[in-house]
């Protein structure tokens, strides 16, 4: 398992992350087996959110492992807050909600601190001064070591960073071979193509410039929870053919190739795996340090239907 430095924190983290969004679908013994498989494969970074299973995923994670201080120190644990659900979902970045959310997260995880707290998606009613006050309380109390965001663009990041004293170290963003807007427009700059439309405000370059680690979620998705492109030969026949050939060359499962396509990028991104299947977790981890050539990386990209001028 390849490790990278999380932003400028000095934390050595696996570039493959176990995402815990669907953990509540498993029994306690199944959850333990999945987590232990991740640890055995070299994953030391675990991603949660208070909204995942309405807190049940965090609770099950701690219970399945029999969380202890010794075990806790072997892990880098991240969680997210800010999404609230009533009859519908909305966002709340108020100081009061952030502080209460972290207390709940720590209680469920049976932990005294989080390594990283992310704000979960943008809140249109965000008051950065309130967030800064909450972060200061959490950092000073030792409840949270580092802070970041998810799904935010450069201006949202810049506005927040103007007020918070702690460096924003991570931005969790959707990225896969078949969903790559943060890469697409940079390849076809100033061309009259749909691919050339700037949909991300150059978030990839912004994060690299400011040493913000990108955490790529849904690395196998062809859209927003529309299913995996792996095995979809109706819509992605050429991509699957190329992936299978490259997988055979490196003697890895096909699951490893989409992970390796992301980890090959020099931005040193992390890949968040959301699987609940032990074998798929193990197979995907083999993409952590897959030595794709430039030619292979671009061939994979093109075979997904993207344009290379």
Q: What is the per-residue pLDDT for 84?
A: 94
Q: What is the per-residue pLDDT for 86?
A: 84
Burial of 298 (0-12, 13-18, 19+ CB in 10 A): middle
Determine what percent of the chain is predicted with pLDDT higher than 90: 95
Q: What is the chain's mean pLDDT, rounded?
A: 96
Q: Does position 224 have pLDDT exceeding 90, yes or no? A: no
Q: Does position 63 have pLDDT exceeding 90, yes or no? A: yes
Question: Which residue segments constitute the domains of the chain, with CATH numbers given?
Answer: 3-303 (3.20.20.100)
Q: What is the per-residue pLDDT for 87?
A: 86
Q: Which of 52, 146, 236, 301 is catalytic?
A: 52
Q: What is the per-residue pLDDT for 140?
A: 98
pTM here is 0.96
CB-based contact 176:258 (threshold 8 Å)? yes
Q: Based on the residue annotation, tell me whether 52 is a catalytic residue of this protein.
A: yes
Name the 3-class secondary structure at 167. coil
Nearest CA to 159 out of 206, 91, 208, 116 is that of: 206
Any alpha helices (H) in 198-293, and if so which ranges? Answer: 203-209, 237-250, 256-263, 278-284
Measured from the Cβ of residue 81, the count of other Cβ atoms closer than 10 Å reads 25
Q: What is the per-residue pLDDT for 50?
A: 97
Q: Does position 210 have pLDDT exceeding 80, yes or no? A: yes
Confidence class for position 198, pLDDT limits 50, 70, 90: very high
Summarize pLDDT for 96-146 with one digit per residue, the tens: 999 999 999 999 999 999 999 999 999 999 999 999 999 999 999 999 999
Determine what percent of the chain is predicted with pLDDT higher than 70: 100
Q: What is the per-residue pLDDT for 69?
A: 86
What the block records as the tokens of 45 is 């970074």
Q: What is the per-residue pLDDT for 225?
A: 74
Residues in contact with 91: Cβ distance below 8 Å, sequence separation at least 6, in sequence order: 82, 83, 84, 120, 121, 122, 123, 124, 125
Q: What is the per-residue pLDDT for 291?
A: 97
What the block records as the tokens of 277 is 């299947």
Q: What is the per-residue pLDDT for 223?
A: 80
Spatial distance between the Cα atoms of 275 and 270, rounded to a whole number of angstroms: 15
The residues facing 102 across adjacent strands are none
The average pLDDT across 40-55 equals 97
The residues facing 270 across adjacent strands are 215
What the block records as the tokens of 249 is 């060359």
CB-based contact 132:147 (threshold 8 Å)? no
Q: Does position 288 have pLDDT exceeding 90, yes or no? A: yes
Q: What is the per-residue pLDDT for 31?
A: 97
Q: What is the per-residue pLDDT for 16?
A: 98
């Amino acid at each position: 398992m390849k490790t990278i430095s999380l932003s400028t924190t000095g934390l050595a983290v696996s570039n493959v992350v176990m995402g815990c969004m669907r953990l509540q679908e498993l029994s306690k013994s199944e959850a333990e087996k999945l987590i232990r498989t991740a640890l055995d494969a070299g994953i030391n970074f675990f991603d949660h959110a208070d909204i995942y299973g309405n807190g049940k995923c965090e609770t099950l994670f701690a219970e399945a492992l029999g969380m202890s201080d010794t075990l806790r120190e072997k892990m880098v644990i991240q969680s997210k807050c800010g999404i609230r659900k009533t009859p519908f979902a909305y966002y709340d970045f108020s100081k009061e909600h952030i502080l209460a959310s972290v207390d709940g997260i720590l209680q469920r995880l049976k932990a005294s601190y989080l390594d990283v707290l992310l704000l979960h998606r943008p809140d249109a009613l965000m008051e950065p001064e309130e967030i800064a006050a909450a972060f200061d309380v959490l950092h000073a109390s030792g409840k949270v070591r580092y802070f970041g965001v998810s799904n935010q663009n450069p201006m949202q990041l810049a506005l927040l960073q103007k007020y918070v004293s702690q460096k924003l170290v991570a931005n969790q963003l959707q990225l896969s071979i078949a969903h790559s807007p943060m890469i697409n427009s940079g390849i076809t700059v100033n061309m009259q193509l749909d691919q050339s439309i700037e949909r991300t405000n150059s978030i990839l370059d912004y994060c690299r410039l400011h040493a913000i680690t990108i955490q790529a979620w849904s690395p196998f998705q062809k859209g927003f929870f529309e299913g995996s492109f792996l095995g979809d030969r109706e819509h992605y026949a050429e991509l699957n053919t190329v992936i299978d050939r490259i997988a055979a060359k490196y003697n890895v499962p096909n699951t490893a190739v989409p992970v390796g396509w992301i980890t090959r990028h020099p931005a040193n991104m992390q890949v968040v795996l959301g699987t609940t299947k032990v074998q798929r977790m193990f197979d995907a981890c083999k993409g952590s340090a897959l030595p794709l050539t430039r030619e292979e990386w671009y061939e994979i990209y093109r075979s997904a239907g993207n344009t290379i001028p």
